[in-house]
Amino acid sequence: MAAPYQDQARLLVAVDCIIFGFNGKELKALLVKRRLEPEMGRWSLMGGFVQQEESVEQAATRVLDQLTGLTDIYMEQLYCFGDVKRDPGGRVVSVAFFALIKIDDYDEALMMDHHSQWFSLNKLPPLVFDHKNMIRQARQRLKEKASTHPIGFALLPLKFTLQQLQGLYEAIYETSLDKRNFTRKIHSLNILHKLGEKDKESSKKGAFYYVFDRKKYEQLDKEAIQFL
């Protein structure tokens, strides 16, 4: 008996990971120098081929772990990119994922090992294949998701000021937000705990640090309320 699907053409399935970080002023994407042909030496997203024993989610988790050394990070599937001529190396369908990490958590030794670098989303270098389009779509998804889910906290340090939090959302939406309205809305969600310590670097008076309440944060994430 003939094996099922033996007459069907074979193709490769890859994953590409769009990794976003926030440096306190602007959103950045983590890029690597490509190590194989075609387009070797050019800037690229971190990716790899899905192995026989892996799901696409497992492959993306493996790629993120290899690049960042981090496992407990926000990640979700973005889109499937399958243009016939998207990769000059062969017929490759790529499932893209986007992830959010804290820049300070990223190991510098891994950056050197992978020849990786953070780039401002507004100053990206030329990228291989359709990777710039992947970043563009991921950025749009981030804007949509951040409006109804509090996922932006995945980009902030463990403790942060309201100014830092507002700066993050201004970077996501590329616009200025009214300080009083923003603060009122954030406090109304009741997901922050005010700490007794202050950030003294931004001003002489200092600004109080906050942390988020994980249980209430997770509840808001499930409810998908109008966050901003």
Task: Supply angle C-alpha 18, 24, 26, rounded to 5.
Answer: 50
108 is catalytic: yes
184 phi-psi bin (left φ>0, alpha ψ -120 to 50, beta other): alpha
User: Position 95: which residue type?
Assistant: V
Distance CA 24, CA 86 (A): 34
Distance CA 24, CA 129 (A): 30
Q: Are strands 46-49 and 116-120 parallel, antiparallel or unpaired?
A: unpaired
Among the options 26, 53, 54, 108, which is catalytic? Answer: 108
Distance CA 51, CA 36 (A): 18
Distance CA 163, CA 131 (A): 32
Residues annotated as part of the active site: 108
